[in-house]
Amino acid sequence: MPSHARRRRKFRRLDSDERRQTLIKAALSCLSRFGPHGTGVREICHHVDVSPGLLSHYFDTKEALILEALRTLTRDFHDKMQGVLADTDVAAEQRLQSAFETYFSGRVTDAERAGAYLAFWTLARTDPAVRRIQRSAYRKQQQLFQSALKALAEKRGVRIDERKVAIGLVSLLDGLWLEICLDPAAFSRATAVSVSWEWLDAVVRRGRRRRGRKSAASRG
C-alpha cells in the first residue's frame, strides 16, 4: 500500500448543530484575539477555514453570530454556577464554597474566555442587544446567589438583606476574577476563594439575630 494512502485522513461531514457550534467557537476566539472591532466575517471564517457563504447560511449577519456567541458563553457559565448553587441537598456553606472555586477555576479564568468577556463588555456600552443579554445573565446569577445566601443566613440564625449581599458578593467575585485574568501572578486562585469567603463570612456575622418564637405560656 502506498505510503500516502496510509496517511490519508478520514473526514466526517459535520451536521448543522456542529457547524453552528464551530462558528460560535470561532467567533469567541476571534473576539478574544482581535477585539470587537477587529472581528469580522473574514477573520471568523479564516479561523475555521470556511467560506463566508457558510456563515451566512447559519447566521443572517455577523452580529447575529456575535449575539449567539454571547448567549453560549453566559449560558455555559450559568449552568456551571447553577450546578453547584441550586443543589439544595448540599449545605449552603458548601454550595457557596464550591461556587467560589468554580468562579476561579482554570476553565473560567483562561485567557480566551477572559478576552471574549472583555470584548462583550466593550460592545455592551453601545449595543443594546448585547446589554440585554448581559443584564439577563447578571440577574440570573444574582438570583442563584440570593437563594444560597438566604439558606446560609437561616442556618446561622441571622437576618441579612440577601439582595444587597448578593450584589456586593458578585461585584467582589467579578473584580477578583478580572484581576486574575489580567495578571495571573497577582494572587493565587486559592487566595481569591479565601478572600471571597472571608468577606462573606464577615458580612453574615454582622446580620441581625433571628428572635425565637415566644412560648404560649409566656404570651399568656
Residue 183, in any domain of the structure: yes
- Domain containing 80 equals 70-208
Cell of 31: 473576539
Phi and psi for 209 in degrees, rounded to 5? -65, 135
31, 69 Cβ separation under 8 angstroms: yes
Backbone angles phi, psi at 105, to 5 degrees: -70, 160
What is the domain count for the chain? 1
Residue-by-residue pLDDT tens, the chain, 220 positions: 454 554 444 545 667 888 999 999 999 999 999 999 999 999 999 999 999 999 999 999 999 999 999 999 999 999 999 999 999 999 999 999 999 999 998 878 888 889 999 999 999 999 999 999 999 999 999 999 999 999 999 999 999 999 999 999 999 999 999 999 989 899 999 999 999 999 999 999 998 886 654 433 334 3
Classify residue 181: in a domain, yes or no: yes
In-domain check, residue 27? no
End-to-end CA distance of the chain: 99
- Whether 45 maps to a domain, the answer reads no
Residue 98 sits in a domain of what CATH number? 1.10.357.10
Residues 52/41, Cβ–Cβ less than 8 Å? yes
Q: pTM of the entire structure?
A: 0.83
**Measured between alpha carbons, how far is 45 from 32 in angstroms, rounded to an integer?**
15
